[in-house]
Amino acid sequence: MNKNARGSLAIISGPSGVGKSTVIAEVLRRRPDLYFSVSFTTRTPRPGEVNGVNYHFVDVPEFERMIRDGELLEHAQYSGNYYGTSAKLIDEKLEQGIDVLLDIEVVGSKIVHDQRPDTPLMFVIPPSFEVLEQRLRGRNTDSEEVIQRRLSRAKEELKEIYRYDYLIVNDTVENAAEDVLAILRAEGCRTANRAYLLKEE
Amino acid sequence: MNKNARGSLAIISGPSGVGKSTVIAEVLRRRPDLYFSVSFTTRTPRPGEVNGVNYHFVDVPEFERMIRDGELLEHAQYSGNYYGTSAKLIDEKLEQGIDVLLDIEVVGSKIVHDQRPDTPLMFVIPPSFEVLEQRLRGRNTDSEEVIQRRLSRAKEELKEIYRYDYLIVNDTVENAAEDVLAILRAEGCRTANRAYLLKEE
């Protein structure tokens, strides 16, 4: 919001099926100034997914070129597909004073956090594990095998929850989005992020 | 908000004349569920100040009794007056799941933070030092000597700003209150404060 300030980076993560995308969409609707960093992936788009919106969909040779050229802040493989985040895109926005929200898988969030330890980590959790299972089944896009794999991965991920700074309970989209917006605003108030103000004194 | 959760404690501090009381009043208007911990003091009430609202005004023997009986979380002396915070009142509210906001002088905030290191510290700063001076003069309640003493203390306090977690710029009351509300909500989302949710898993 202030031209003198560098933008803040924040990470949002969570198990598959938790409704993270819907929460993020609501956050972006309320904060259109926010830059949402879209991940690159080699996985096949799901019905309705749009290139450049849900993901940047690229093929394996292109993804491997990006790795070799050092263009990625992090990358990982899940279910045989690559996922990765462009460092270049993010840093350009931060330099311009624009806040950046990153949606990354759990392993990726760990890698980014190791490189940029001041980045707040948010983790979206379901109100209960039963709700998560219902949502995964309700999506009707995955086979039973995939659902079981996602559920057992979610269980593993929940064990690492204490690594995260913030837990967002997705009971309603409005509540969860309000939590994320509050965290982004609060992070912008951190003394380290407002140090530029003190130079005037 | 959740009956199973313990309340969160947050501290707000800032130089005299920065408009902290007005910001706090707006925060409490928007969050009537919040318990505002009113300090005890032996100083004389200013015109318009109400006992139990601005401060609990007590005499020196009563204040010294509270010190002796260990009823205070912190206490300090400024300009020849005692200021202190009741630990008992605060802990009762936290146990009931009520969030508590503490308005304390800089030295007192340091003492509380040493005892309860997870407590977030907010510091209200003026948009500029000139604005602070104007506000102190505009209040018309203090002698020139007192104003000068407050200004030089404010300069000292601003040097310690890096000890605080958050800086609240009081450019407008609405903006500053919105920052405080966001911080309180964000702090409530901290993994440590939401650990009770994970017990259900």
- Cβ contacts of A187 within 8 Å, gap of 6 or more: A8, A10, A120, A193, B186
The letter for the amino acid at A173 is V
Q: What is the pLDDT of residue B4?
A: 58
Residues from chain B contacting residue A179 (CB–CB below 8 Å): 185-186, 189
Contacts of A185 in chain B (CB under 8 A): 178-179, 182-183, 186
pLDDT for A3 equals 45
Can you tell me the distance from the alpha carbon of B109 to that of B12, in angstroms, rounded to the nearest whole number?
Answer: 8
- The verdict on a CB contact (< 8 Å) between B191 and A125 is no
| B189–A198 CB contact, under 8 Å | no
Whether the pLDDT of residue A1 is over 60: the answer is no
B178 with A185: Cβ contact below 8 A = yes
Torsion of CA B112, B116, B118, B124, to 10 degrees: -10
pLDDT at B39: 87
Q: Given strand A100-103, what is the order of strands in its sheet?
A: A35-37, A100-103, A9-13, A121-125, A166-169
Model pLDDT for residues A87-119, shown as the tens digit of each residue: 988 999 999 999 999 988 888 888 898 888 989
pLDDT category at B157 given cuts 50, 70, 90 is: confident
Using an 8 Å CB-CB cutoff, list chain B residues near A178.
185
pTM of the model as a whole: 0.83
The answer to whether B167 contacts A191, with C-beta atoms less than 8 Å apart, is yes
Of B125, B186, B198, the CB nearest to A183: B186
- DSSP character for A51? B
Q: Which residues pair with A85 in a beta bridge?
A: A74
In the 8-state DSSP scheme, what is residue A196? H
pLDDT-based confidence at residue A4 (cuts at 50, 70, 90): low
pLDDT at B2 > cutoff 50: no
Q: Is the dihedral of CA A47, A48, A49, A50 positive or negative?
A: positive
- What is the dihedral sign for C-alpha A63, A68, A74, A80? positive
DSSP 3-state percent helix, strand, coil across chain A (nearest 5): 45, 20, 35
Beta bridge partners of B138: none
Nearest CB neighbour to A179, from listed B179, B189, B201: B189
Is the ipTM beyond the 0.85 threshold? no
The closest CB to that of B182, out of A125, A182, A200, belongs to A182
A189–B201 CB contact, under 8 Å: no
Q: For residue B198, what pLDDT band results from cuts at 50, 70 and 90?
A: low
Find the closest chain A residue to B190 by CA distance: A166
Contacts of B129 in chain A (CB under 8 A): 201
| pLDDT confidence tier of residue A201, bands split at 50, 70 and 90 | very low
Q: Using CA coordinates, name the residue in chain B closest to A175.
A: B185
What does each C-alpha distance from B172 to A84, A200, B54, B123 come to in angstroms? Answer: 41, 18, 21, 15
CB A127, CB A169: distance < 8 Å: yes
* Of B179, B176, B178, B174, nearest in space to B126 by CA: B176
**What is the secondary structure of B71-125 as a DSSP string?**
-EEEEEEETTEEEEEEHHHHHHHHHTT--EEEE--HHHHHHHHHHSTTS-EEEEE
The pLDDT value recorded for residue B1 is 43
Give yes or no for a contact between B7 and B116, defined as CB atoms under 8 angstroms apart: no
Instruction: State which H helix or E strand residue A123 sits in.
Output: strand A121-125
Digit-coded pLDDT (tens) for B110-154:
889 888 898 999 999 988 878 888 888 887 777 888 888 888 888
Burial class (CB in 10 A: 0-12, 13-18, 19+), A71: middle
Segment A14-37 mean pLDDT: 92
Residue range A142-158: average pLDDT?
A: 84
What are the tens digits of pLDDT across the range B177-186?
999 999 999 9
The Cα–Cα gap between B77 and B72 comes to 13
* Interface touch B182/A186, C-beta < 8 Å: yes
Burial group, residue A54, by CB count within 10 angstroms (0-12, 13-18, 19+) = middle
